[in-house]
Amino acid sequence: MAQFFKPQKKTVAKGKQQLTIDTLNHEGVGITRVNNKVGFVEGALPREVVLASPTQTKAKFERFSVSKVIKPSEFRVKPFCTHYNICGGCQLQHLAPEQQLVEKQKAVNSLFEKFLGDANTDLNWQSAIDSQPLTYRRTARIAVFYDKNKKEYLFGYRQKGSKKIININNCQVLESCFSNIFEVFHPLLKRLKTGQSITHLQLYRTQDQALIIIRHIRALSENDINLLSSEADKNGWKIVLEGETGQYEFSDKHASTQAVINNKNIHLLHYDINEFNLKFNFSFDNFIQVNHKVNGLMLKQAIDWLNLKSDEKILDLFCGIGNFSLPMAQRASSVVGIEGVASSVEMAKFNAKNNQIENARFFCQDLNESMAKAKWFNEEYDVLVLDPSRAGAFDILSQLKLKRFARILYVSCDPVTLARDSKLIIDAGFKISKTGLMNMFPHTGHVETMALFTKS
């Protein structure tokens, strides 16, 4: 009797599936097809074969996490952080740094194909603005939670895929001045009598100081404040207290530079952009870019790409404290900056005056509302610059008469809304002239992109 070879069936743990990964999406998550649906596989890389555990099942998609890598990618590397498997801060440490940019560029291409179609997706990619892989974060928030049942403090970041706080021993992406923040503060919290009032720390590395804002919901005792200040002084940090009223108070009365802005006494911090000889003041309530080096290179690239002429007028939407407005005002006839946060508008005006820039005006306006009656909206401009939040700029782009602009520069922190909004711009008669990634957040799923549009 003939014997036929029967291959052994692969044994797979209950609920787990063997999957082959096709690509990464714009959040750095592996994509495959499974059960006639899209499969999102956390921790997987393109062309890998993995054993994955299901975490969510929906009608149109399923989510998985990698249990075992059967066939690894050539670009898979060992994560440098001991907390990587549980911390929600980074998503791509398992992918070689140089390949992170390659995969992010592919993801942006896919999104443009989805929104624009193949005929409009020649993005003319330029070299990416890269970042140092470690010690790049000049701001960060660290959570503090007191577990009453265990009578212990949790001090760190959110757990991956959860709101739970996990203890962190170190974080190598923080600027080096904060390298020992966890080993100093975790044991320090246990020594405080009123430490349970503290909800989180906000770190700021400014041009000349390392600041720690301690946010607390009830008053801290004088002894605790002195203890916090003493430990901070040993490490070159300045303590700032933010209590129930939302007011900021430096523990060292001489550590703060202050100014009266719009009839309010404001604590001033600052960063310099040496390329443009500009000093940007900001307060604790203002948004600034996390990666100082990439921010400077981003501004330089924007100026280079726009090639501004001295007689051109610029409209800068979502202008913040003037990060793009002021360098452009040095080269153009005039700049009008629009921002929805009143405190940022006041700071932009202060920065213009402080840098002796007289051809920049700033207005506070919610750019999701109707602009028809706004005086600035009906003025003539040559160049449009946009730097919106993740929500994008669809509402304001839908209202603007885009054809009156010669060039449009879009700086994006979300490639989905960038691709969506780009269709409006292209439909108005523009083409994509240049596109480039900015590695603002290495090892994460964040994708920062700059796109220049010119008349087609």
What amino acid positions are annotated as catalytic residues? 413
Do residues 451 and 409 make contact, with C-beta atoms less than 8 angstroms apart?
Answer: yes
The angle subtended at Cα 70 by Cα 64 and Cα 72, nearest 5°, is 95
| CA 340 – CA 366 distance, rounded (Å) | 5
| CA 243 – CA 436 distance, rounded (Å) | 42
| CA 362 – CA 344 distance, rounded (Å) | 10
**What b/e string do you get for 408-446 counting C-beta neighbours within 10 Å, with b at 16 or more?**
bbbbbbbbbbbbbbbbebbebebebbbbbbbbbbbbbbb
| Dihedrals phi, psi of 320, to nearest 5 degrees | 60, -135
Element containing residue 191 per DSSP (H, E): helix 181-191
| CA 103 – CA 358 distance, rounded (Å) | 43
| CA 282 – CA 360 distance, rounded (Å) | 17
- Per DSSP, 174 falls in state B
| CA 446 – CA 92 distance, rounded (Å) | 10
Do residues 454 and 429 make contact, with C-beta atoms less than 8 angstroms apart?
Answer: no
